[in-house]
């Protein structure tokens, strides 16, 4: 019994001596690849704890926050709240350096060109489209029809109505035949160049339905026309 009491008294005295010696620690500056200033603190002593390391770290960082990076604690050593009782602490001061963004750049979709709306009615009017007193297309008329066919690529139409008209000079019978011939010339050109339609409705109206006066040259030129109407696309 007496021996046991002596042992206990010796341990208390030893602890008292260690506590009286105060906390002991070592501190180093550490180089890291991220370029930020980094420190290492090691605490020693039987009664030292993680608080000793953190207290020294706070002294080093001054007014900046302590940001732990690594910690080492003796095997099985924990604090009263169950956390590891670190005796070696590697840390940096302040907020972490911003990291370069690894997010992929936003992909902006290429603008899709919006095709111009296809006109549903086209008129070939004036003397530039047919030779005088003929049903032969001029190069100017062919260029207009080629543009119409190109704009209608990939489209299908139910009906393409083609109506021919003349001015008021000449007999009604002659003008009717000429208007029909010009309308058919236009229809055959569109068919042979790929305009896709279920039906071509071709009519000649002669000198009927004028759009301008036949008393002037300009008015008569407007009346000599072939109208093209696309529907059912």
User: What tokens were used for 31?
Assistant: 């180089």
**Nearest partner of 187 among 166, 209, 204, 168, judged by Cα:** 204
Using alpha carbons only, give the angle 58, 63, 64 rounded to the nearest 5 degrees. 75
pLDDT: which is higher, 233 or 4 = 233
- What does pTM read for this prediction? 0.50
* Per-residue pLDDT tens over the stretch 116-134: 556 688 899 888 888 778 8
Domains of the chain: 24-93 (no CATH), 121-231 (3.30.1330.60)
Helix axes 172-192, 139-151, angle to 10 degrees: 50
Instruction: Give 115's contacts (C-beta < 8 A, 6+ positions apart).
Output: 151
Mean pLDDT of 81-100: 72
What pLDDT does residue 148 have? 92
Share of the chain above pLDDT 90, in %: 36
Do residues 122 and 187 touch, judged by C-beta distance below 8 A?
no
**Nearest partner of 88 among 74, 98, 77, judged by Cα:** 74
């Amino acid at each position: 019994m007496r021996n046991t009491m002596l042992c206990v008294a010796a341990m208390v005295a030893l602890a008292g001596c260690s506590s009286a010696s105060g906390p002991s620690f070592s501190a180093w500056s550490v180089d890291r690849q991220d370029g930020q200033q980094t420190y290492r603190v090691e605490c020693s002593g039987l009664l030292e704890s993680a608080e000793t390391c953190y207290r020294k770290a706070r002294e080093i960082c001054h007014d900046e926050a302590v940001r732990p990076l690594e910690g080492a604690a003796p095997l099985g050593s924990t604090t009263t709240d169950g956390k590891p009782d670190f005796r070696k602490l590697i840390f940096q001061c302040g907020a972490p350096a911003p990291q370069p963004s690894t997010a992929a750049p936003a992909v902006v979709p290429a603008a899709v060109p919006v095709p111009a709306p296809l006109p549903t009615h086209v008129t070939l009017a004036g003397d530039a489209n047919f030779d005088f007193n003929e049903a032969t297309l001029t190069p100017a008329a062919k260029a207009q029809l080629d543009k119409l066919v190109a704009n209608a690529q990939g489209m299908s139409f139910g009906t393409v109505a083609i109506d021919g008209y003349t001015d008021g000079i000449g007999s009604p019978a002659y003008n009717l035949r000429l208007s029909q011939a010009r309308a058919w010339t236009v229809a055959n050109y569109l068919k042979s160049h790929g305009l896709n339609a279920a039906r071509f409705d071709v009519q000649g109206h002669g000198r009927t339905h004028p759009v301008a006066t036949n008393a002037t040259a300009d008015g008569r030129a407007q009346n000599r026309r072939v109208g093209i109407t696309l529907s059912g696309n």
